[in-house]
Chains A and B, each alone.
Chain A
Amino acid sequence: MTGLVATAFASVWSRPVGRAGLLLLGALALLAIVCPFLLPDPALQGDLLAESLRPPGAGHPFGTDQLSRDVLARVAAGLRLSLLLGVLAALLAVTLGTTVGLVAGAWGGVVDALLMRLVDALLAIPRLFVLLLALAVWDRVPLPALVLLLGLTGWYGTSRLVRGEARRLHREEFVRAAEVLGAGRRQIAFRHLLPNVTGPVLVAATLGIGDVMLLEAGLSFLGLGVRPPAPSLGGMIQESRAVFATAPWTSIFPGLAIVLAVLAVNLVGDALREALDPRST
């Protein structure tokens, strides 16, 4: 399996679109990881009168916001949070979805029917409403809870995808060969089928990161996700709505960060899909 991940990485890198995505993602990740060590504390407020809403320039490459905080430092911190949240929630969603899909696919029959009807029912509940309701309960959402909420509401698509793949693979002769060797259903699901669905799962996971990042930005913009003063890209845009006309850099840079990060993730996801599609060469 590690072999497959390495191969996938290499073949994404060999595609122009994939390489652009990886480079962009790498640059953003670097910014997110390194900045806290180089830049001023994102919560640090300077002299409110002299330093607030300074346009981009020396000392503050992205300018400062109305509380005279460094926008670049805040964008970097927001990006870090957003990427972390995206990766963790997508990981949780994909793990859950893959498990449910494999169980449905390998067991078939009643188990399959029950699990898939459950997924149908869950898909009928609008994700945004569930999130809004759940988040409204909390005054200040702890990060693990946010990961849990986004992960637990994001696995349905993956479970259907994996279930379909597993059903198809289950008809293959190598599954008969495994049964003939005495393999039980659990072994067939997790030892024989799982490695064969890694490709589509990897694609779903990557694209899932982008989804979660957009959702988090949206929720934070509505004031329901990450609450101030913790820096969040969506929250920054919300806070600077009032000064958009006079100090556009306060919202343009966080907006750009969201767009570029999601774009990078989707470029990598698409290249991955192409690379793993057996019909393309």
Chain B
Amino acid sequence: MTPLLEVRDLSVTFPTSRGTIRPVDGLSFTLERGQTLALVGESGSGKSLTGLAILRLVPPPGAIAPASVVRLGDHVLTDLDERAMRAVRGGRIGMVFQDPMTSLNPVFTAGAQIAEAVRAHRRMSGREARARATALLEEVGIPDPVRRLDDYPHQLSGGMRQRVMIAIALAAEPELLIADEPTTALDVTVQAQILELLDGLRSRRGMSVLLITHDLGVVAGRADHVAVMYAGQIVESAPTDRLFAAPAHPYTQGLFASIPKLEGQRGRLTPIQGVVPPPDAWPDGCRFAPRCAFRFEKSEEPPPLLPAGPAHLARCWLHAEGRP
């Protein structure tokens, strides 16, 4: 079976006064139906821009490079005209953002916004749309949904608003849900509930989820596959279990070392030194080299994605043939 989403060589370019930069640079990945792919990276890695690029909503003056291909099922999204693309947005792909405080229009009730999303892609009467909105609120686990329909966003808690956002994204029964840091702005207890909800919806609806996050903890047990992004590129890609058991890229290892652990040895956390360099200052060779403890002569050249195990790739010369 063909994968639901196939991204090949996706690049996003931005013109700047000092030449064109590529905050997303040659990204390729696939996402199977009913599965969850986690896109993990620090801020500035290009992960959020990737989500927007799939929907072709890169903010101007940014643009998607001509060679990029995004395929959803049988459709090549990168070839569609704007009109057809609008039908895909919300219709076949739903998206949830980080901050539920600002993602809802403050002057409309929750019910009105869900009903609008329902009617945007399907002809139905106001009454039917309202009934559908009630059912959606119920599905995303909002108690007393009929009463909540007439609440304005400011009357809802953060967790509720994120549930409403998810209901809106689900309104047209999309095949793919892009969740961009869906829990970052929420309380820890609510985070788990929202992740649980997303996972439940995925398995019930047979939907695919692209989970964009900076938090490896969010990924554990919920994603089938993980792609780690650094400086606009995927630096490591592996099934989730495999990645957690044997991270192959020094950057991924660094990410794990900077997560506090509940059990085991209680040594100091070892954060990765430095920050992600901005897109106009990426090194010519391995982009992680300046922060890498294992760098060597070969790091001066840009590494390709090299096999590091079954279904496991790492963009690091340490995994080149002939090295231990």
Contact = CB atoms under 8 A, between A and B. Distances in A.
Nearest to B60: A109
Contacts of A191: 116
B88 A182 contact: yes
A109 B60 CA distance: 9
Contacts of B97: 173, 176-177
A183 B87 CA distance: 9
Interface string A163-186: 000000000111011111111100
B107 A181 contact: no
Nearest to A180: B95
B107 A195 contact: yes
A4 B102 contact: no
Given A173-B97, A173-B99, A176-B97, A181 B104 contact: no
Given A174-B104, A176-B57, A179-B57, A184 B99 contact: no
B205 interface: no
A177 B51 CA distance: 13
Contacts of B169: 180
Interface string B106-133: 1110000000110011000000000000
Among B55, B107, B108: residue with most chain A CB under 10 A: B107
Contacts of B168: 177, 181
Interface string B62-96: 00000000000000000000000011111100110
A31 B26 CA distance: 74
B253 interface: no
B269 to A, nearest CB: 32
Given A109-B60, A183-B120, A195-B108, A174 B102 contact: yes
A196 interface: yes
Nearest to B94: A180
A195 B106 CA distance: 9
A181 B89 contact: yes
A212 B120 CA distance: 41
Given A173-B97, A174-B102, A176-B97, A181 B108 contact: no
B280 to A, nearest CB: 23
A227 interface: no
A180 B106 CA distance: 17
Given A109-B60, A192-B105, A195-B107, A182 B89 contact: yes
Among A108, A176, A184, A191: residue with most chain B CB under 10 A: A176
A177 B106 contact: no
B120 A174 contact: no
Interface string B148-171: 000000000000000001001101
A198 to B, nearest CB: 8
Interface in A80-127: 108-109
Given A182-B86, A182-B89, A195-B108, A177 B120 contact: no
B90 A174 contact: no
A6 to B, nearest CB: 14
Nearest to A175: B105
Contacts of A172: 102
Nearest to A4: B107
A173 B103 contact: yes
Among A173, A176, A180, A195: residue with most chain B CB under 10 A: A180
Contacts of A195: 105, 107-108
Interface residues of A, number: 20
B102 A184 contact: no
Interface string B29-61: 000000000000000000000000001010010
A182 B107 contact: no
A108 B57 CA distance: 15
A59 B121 CA distance: 69
A181 B57 contact: no
A179 B171 CA distance: 15
Nearest to A1: B107
Nearest to B56: A179
B75 to A, nearest CB: 15
A192 B259 CA distance: 41
A176 B91 CA distance: 15
Contacts of B90: 180-182
A83 B95 CA distance: 50
Contacts of B87: 182
Nearest to A108: B60
A8 to B, nearest CB: 13
A176 B103 contact: yes
A279 to B, nearest CB: 15
A112 to B, nearest CB: 12
B105 A196 contact: yes
A177 B162 CA distance: 12
A108 B61 CA distance: 12
A275 to B, nearest CB: 16
Given A173-B99, A176-B97, A182 B91 contact: yes
Interface of B: 55, 57, 60, 86-91, 94-95, 97, 99, 102-108, 116-117, 120-121, 165, 168-169, 171
Interchain residue pairs A-B with the least CB separation, the first 5: A181-B90, A182-B89, A173-B102, A182-B90, A180-B95
